[in-house]
Amino acid sequence: MNSIVVNLMQVRERIELAALAAKREPEEIELLAVSKTFPASAVEEAMHAGQSAFGENYVQEAVEKIEKLAKLRPWLIWHFIGPLQSNKTREVAQHFDWVHSVDRLKIAERLSTQRGEFPDLPPLMVCVQLNVSEEDSKSGVSLAEANSLCSAITALPNVALRGLMAIPAPTSDIHQQRQAFGAVQDCFKRIQASHSTELGYQFFDTLSMGMSDDLEAAIHEGSTMVRVGTTIFGKRDKINK
């Protein structure tokens, strides 16, 4: 059996076990297969094993891959999950279904305007990225700034605010993992509770957090989407961005 197929089965089993341990339904958690640096053929193999959602970090590489797999587009959902520069927003607005890494209003405004240039496309799904561990090297707004950025995004056309994304500082300590993810969940719940009846927040349902090394802790703290790459596709080679 193909290794990608086996790896997907094993990751899905981890998700199911983590969900059950957290007294949640496994169906509540979506698996996002992070296919950055892997070829289009790997995405196609994963798709044939039942995977539909794929995450990419590098715009040029991703667009080439998306175009190469154009014939499979109806069965694929493309998520941009990496840092996004202003000069790359148009390509993302044109080719992706989701953006997880919105960390400032300027980026959201550009995505909204440029998505509007493609009237046949549905609204672009966006998540606000939090810098929960307050690392200088990471993108994202602080927990205190999240609410105001979310509010501003809901006023924009052509994008739909879906939730929050976070990448806490790496640690093998599960208690520290849960503490960081718990802080994101608390922020998410506060925003959800404060605005759930307001227009623009009706789809605010996504907590994108947890990767290969900490997905169990993330699921315990409410993650609805985990991002897993090398555990599915194998060792990653560096590429030119």
Q: Encode pLDDT of 57-106 as tens digits.
A: 999 999 999 999 999 999 999 999 999 999 999 999 999 999 999 999 99
For residues 141 and 20, what is the distance between their CA atoms, to the nearest angstrom?
32
Which tokens sit at 174? 């599960």
Establish if 80 belongs to a structural domain. yes
Q: Can you tell me whether residue 21 is helix, strand or coil?
A: helix
Residue 5 contacts residue 33 (beta carbons within 8 Å): no
Mean pLDDT score, 167-183: 95
Per the structure, the complete domain to which residue 80 belongs is given by 3-233
For residues 98 and 30, what is the distance between their CA atoms, to the nearest angstrom?
14
Furthest-apart CA atoms within the chain: distance in Å: 49
Which tokens sit at 171? 């640690």
pLDDT at 240 over 60: no
Side-chain half-sphere exposure of 92, counting CA atoms within 13 A: 32
pLDDT digits (tens, 9 = 90+) for 212-222: 999 999 999 99
Any idea what the CATH number is for the domain that residue 98 is in?
3.20.20.10
Mean pLDDT score, 192-199: 91
For residues 54 and 178, what is the distance between their CA atoms, to the nearest angstrom?
25
Establish if 240 belongs to a structural domain. no
> How many domains does the chain contain in total?
1
- Name the pLDDT band for 139 (thresholds 50, 70, 90): confident
Establish if 241 belongs to a structural domain. no
Establish if 239 belongs to a structural domain. no
Which tokens sit at 3? 């290794």
